[in-house]
A and B are shown apart, each in its own frame.
Chain A
Amino acid sequence: AQSVTQLGSHVSVSEGALVLLRCNYSSSVPPYLFWYVQYPNQGLQLLLKYTTGATLVKGINGFEAEFKKSETSFHLTKPSAHMSDAAEYFCAVSVPGTGRRALTFGSGTRLQVQP
């Protein structure tokens, strides 16, 4: 069965600093990987996804993530944090060929941006 681990339930950075949110997955076959963002009292919005092809994926709001099969990782980065990036971020995995038409989510990382 697939699983997702997000290291760090809370991450705090200064405005303008690098954002790095960590995600490791477990899957017996190459998975599809997702990052979602949730702003306070809102639903989840897709930031970016990896399915096949280029392992460096660019998403909305300047975020990107790199699929590293050898490290089973899909870390999310942004070169320069903005105050508006403060939110909770979820990594998720889908394993093709299982018939399960839903995602498995990590426990989330809350990003705080200090002025």
Chain B
Amino acid sequence: NAGVTQTPKFQVLKTGQSMTLQCAQDMNHEYMSWYRQDPGMGLRLIHYSVGAGITDQGEVPNGYNVSRSTTEDFPLRLLSAAPSQTSVYFCASSYAGTNEQFFGPGTRLTVL
């Protein structure tokens, strides 16, 4: 199993550009989440999904959209990138029970 995969690993955007961060998992987990990691702030939840077609907001959802059309994929869309979205983004999946998160390797995004 590949686990949780994320693409790209690195990305540089200009302010106002849009892009999609890809996330896929092959563990048949019901739940998937997106976090952002900023220095001194730990990981903060952006959006999460409890199944195909069902998503909900986390603590910092503004500026991001998600959808979940399949169990495996959970892309994160930045509609109009801003410098405040410069961060490292982690996708994670989990199964019913304790919510133990299985993390992808991350995407380092810089917005100029």
Contacts and interface: CB of A to CB of B under 8 A. Distances in A.
Interface in A92-115: 92, 94, 96, 99-108
B90 A107 contact: no
The bracket for how many chain A residues form the interface is 20 to 34
Given A101-B48, A102-B48, A90 B43 contact: yes
Given A43-B90, A43-B106, A100-B48, A105 B99 contact: no
B31 A101 contact: yes
Given A90-B42, A108-B42, A101 B99 contact: yes
Contact of A94 (B43, B99, B105, B106): B99
Contacts of B90: 43-44
A18 interface: no
Nearest 9 interchain pairs by C-beta = A101-B31, A94-B99, A105-B42, A107-B42, A105-B43, A102-B33, A43-B103, A44-B103, A32-B98
A105 B59 CA distance: 12
